[in-house]
Structure 1
């Protein structure tokens, strides 16, 4: 039985296009350049921050985050970033007795912004708050602890095979691969993803029947 549905954040609940555009502006390169490089590193199976390292070799991404915040050009999330199916899906799951958790690879500041959106969730947490980062097993072990386990009663939903589907499955959780965003679309028909994912979905609303049947 699925008692908890846990969600990745970027390109699962919120769009990343404004975020990448802000990085392009900060690094003084065309926005299309950043978009194209993100696509390239995605196709190569690398971390998306590699796109920033290609633009500025040796960049300290953490230091740049801090510099942006100090300059008043830091992280930002608003309602326009939230995918249209998020509030209906999460709200319906909670109304039907399913615990909803949001847990992704984000900074502490991103966690504050997510809380400010008042999404219908029982728990919102980020890797920055927990001090553990996907795809490490420690991240999913912390998730199981926070959700009140056992792991097999938790369904983890995400778009990224390497960060979401594969490590969540290895940690004993059920998994759903979302066909959304660059990673979701690129690997939707990958045989390894098809094998690893318990469910493959095109909309978060698909989870209502999965988790409450």
Structure 2
């Protein structure tokens, strides 16, 4: 499904009993300094000697390839796989063992603190708090290299965690969007029928096609303004319905 085939226009909200949100480019966006700093830190942890910029480009492409593999197979692939794929692409045979993964994650966590993600819209925390007073809210998100435990801290730091009663992350359930299993995990935790859950996200395949396959109602967003508009429209619709 393309962006032209889905929009921020809300479906009928009378039957919506819960709302699920993607994280990246829906609730938060990456700090522009973070990925370069992470590549440099990983380069040091791995004991590499080549140019950092070359490794950064290799890691970026390996991350993108792995995202496509996750979308194709529905299997979550974490930092161990992604860094391993980058090393293979760089012609190395290093094993990314458990102690190395631990050091990579420790370095990454420090950089998340130093270069934190930003809320997609300055009014998002207030809007989500208002919406959560009307319907249960959930997060349904792929994690890539940043695990769910770290993402909860990110959301808390931005004032975005408290509105959510359910947080479902791909590294914790072992399945990645668009696989229906990750959406079913959210729906089961919410305790409502899938057909009454609206899922808001920015990715036509992972969020729209995935939510649709799992029986949820999809809503595609493509900008900070569209995210804010969806939240505000939902708040208004629920307030009107309660009047």
Q: Taking structure 1 as the reference length, what is the TM-score of the superposition?
A: 0.69
Offset at residue 62 of structure 1 (A): 8.7
Secondary structure of the equivalent of 1:6? strand
Secondary structure of the equivalent of 1:102? strand
Other-structure match for 2:125: 87
Secondary structure of the equivalent of 2:88? coil
Q: For 1:158, which of 176, 201, 205 is the aligned residue?
A: 201
Other-structure match for 2:39: 24
Matches of 1:7 and 1:154, distance apart in 2? 10
Larger radius of gyration: 2
Q: Highest relative contact order (Cα 8 Å, sep 6+), 1 or 2?
A: 2
Secondary structure of the equivalent of 2:178? coil
Matches of 1:168 and 1:61, distance apart in 2? 33
Offset at residue 104 of structure 1 (A): 0.9
Deviation string 1:162-212 (CA, Å, 9 cap, x unpaired) is: 21111111111011111039xxxxxxxxxxxxxxxxxxx722332332465
Q: Where do 5+ consecutive residues of structure 1 fail to align? A: 182-200
Matches of 2:222 and 2:28, distance apart in 1? 14
Q: Where do 5+ consecutive residues of structure 2 fail to align? A: 1-14, 44-51, 71-78, 238-243
Other-structure match for 1:46: 68
Other-structure match for 1:122: 165
Secondary structure of the equivalent of 2:19? strand
Offset at residue 114 of structure 1 (A): 4.2
Change (3 A) 1:68 1:54: closer
- RMSD, aligned α-carbons: 3.8
Secondary structure of the equivalent of 1:124? strand
Offset at residue 4 of structure 1 (A): 0.9
1:206 matched to 2:243? The reply is no
Q: For 2:102, which of 57, 66, 91 is the aligned residue?
A: 66
Aligned length: 190
Q: Taking structure 2 as the reference length, what is the TM-score of the superposition?
A: 0.61
